[in-house]
Structure 1
Amino acid sequence: MTATLQASIAAARQAVLDRIAAAATASGRAPGDVTLVAVSKQQPEDRIAAMLATGQTIFGENRVQEAQDRWGARRNSLELRLIGPLQSNKAREAVALFDVIETLDRPKLAAVLADEIQRAGGGPRLFVQVNTGEEPQKAGVIPTEADAFIAACRGEFGLQIEGLMCIPPEAEAAGPHFALLAAIARRNGLERLSMGMSADFETAVRFGATSVRVGSALFGTRG
């Protein structure tokens, strides 16, 4: 890790934090109410080391295996979030590794996670992913089925749901999708909203995001 890279990563992180703070303040919120999740998927080791050196402790990964390889030996004092789709056959590994799973989106996965959490005597905090744009290629429960699914997670499967997550369609304005997610959360008594990425995290903060998932604005574009 070069001094130039370290300085660049530190400056990028501070710029993102400043933008989060400004968006929160403009919305009448405290900057500390919004958590920055550094999306570390597929990032080279020198950039990860530089980010760790800034004091960043919360990271998001898309794949269980990649997260195991990267973080398995250095889990102390870090919070890991799974922000990519979870296959049911990877649930045991995910429960053991992650502090938060943000992509619960179907009954089969809910059942498997319930079994694994019971087997382990505890497990990660859980978010339901909502496919606000109803995109067929994207994971997540569709909005009209979200209330019933959240109720099933709580009742049928005995899971504690902490919040909701969404990824708006790239070609559409993000604000209406964030507003929809916030509305679903309110009527289900959920206070945590994981929404907003590098291109739209300030908008997400204005709509109530409690965590934003930022990759390229922190690490730069992957080569």
Structure 2
Amino acid sequence: MTLQERIAEVSDRIQRACAASGRDPGDVHVIAVTKYVTLDKVASVLSAPMEHIGESRWQDAESKWIALGDKGTWHFIGHLQTNKVKDVIGKFQYIHSLDRLSLAQELQRKAKTAGIDVKVFLQVNISGEESKYGLAPEEVPDFLRSIASLDRVKVIGLMTMAPFEEDPEHTRPVFRGLRELRDQLNHQALTPEPIRELSMGMSNDFDVAVEEGSTWVRLGTVLVGHEEGS
């Protein structure tokens, strides 16, 4: 399939998922995950046109960002080491993987120095898998209280990764759990503004994630295909 055909198919699937759940497709945003593809493919994605690009390691993203950073909105979607904050701050408009206080404090320091705010998603390990990063759901309220004074770190959403399942329907409880956690946090009014965004759903399960309320889906294989051994 061509890139345009993949984009059309993804759009159609999102529309069908929204129809099934009574949602507006305009509330769902697609991040093209380009970590396994070449600079030329990223340029093609941005020219498609698609606005949102997702990368998970600065060492892989650096050459792409240098060439194309002004042509889209960039999302850092991988585990972010504290010593890499200096590389991504001011370049990636969204960080999807805030999961510890030391990282929040470093984001605050670097953002304050740069005179900017940084939009973040808290990464939550809803499934409880030991192999995944993220806060346990019960840790999130206290974590939000612990970063309340960090005025440059703007919590706009929650992120989770579901286990890979042959049948995507089995991921539904994970996505529902993140949505319910967001609603509980908003009921407690732990942030200056309500938490509105949910970053959840990847190539194998995004239809179910959208049905459960995802506002950002992170799509690699199904959207940009395979390159470089991905």
User: TM-score, normalised to structure 2's length?
Assistant: 0.88
Per-residue CA deviations over 1:186-218 (Å, capped at 9, x if unaligned) read 122211000000111110111100110000001
For 1:64-143, what aligned pairs fall within 5 Å after superposition?
A: 64-143=58-137
**Matching residue of 1:200:** 205
- Structure-2 residue corresponding to 1:176: 173
Of 195, 198, 219, the match for 1:214:
219
Q: 2:23 aligns with which of 22, 29, 34?
A: 29
Identity of aligned residues (%): 36
C-alpha distance in structure 2 between counterparts of 1:47 and 1:90, whole Å: 25
Residues 167 and 196 in structure 1, CA contact (< 8 A), matched pair in contact too: yes
TM-superposed CA distance for 1:25, in Å, is 2.1
Match of 1:163, SS state, is strand
Of structures 1 and 2, the one scoring higher in RCO (CA 8 A, sep 6+) is: 2
Q: Which runs of 5+ in 1 are unaligned?
A: 1-6
The answer to whether structure 1 residue 41 and structure 2 residue 35 are counterparts is yes
Structure 1 segments (4+ residues) deviating >3 Å: none
Deviation by residue 1:27-86 (Cα, 9 ceiling, x = unmatched)? 111111100100000212343233223101101001122222111232224100000000
Any conservation in 1 of the 2:42–2:64 contact (CA below 8 Å)?
Answer: no
Matched residues in 1 for 2:185 and 2:7: separation? 33
SS, match of residue 150 in structure 2:
coil
Q: CA RMSD in A?
A: 1.6
Instruction: Give the deviation of 1:142 after TM superposition.
Output: 1.1
Match of 2:150 among 144, 148, 157: 157
Unaligned runs of 5+ in 2: 187-194
Q: Distance in 1 between matches of 2:71 and 2:178?
A: 30
The residue type equivalent to 1:191 in the other structure is R
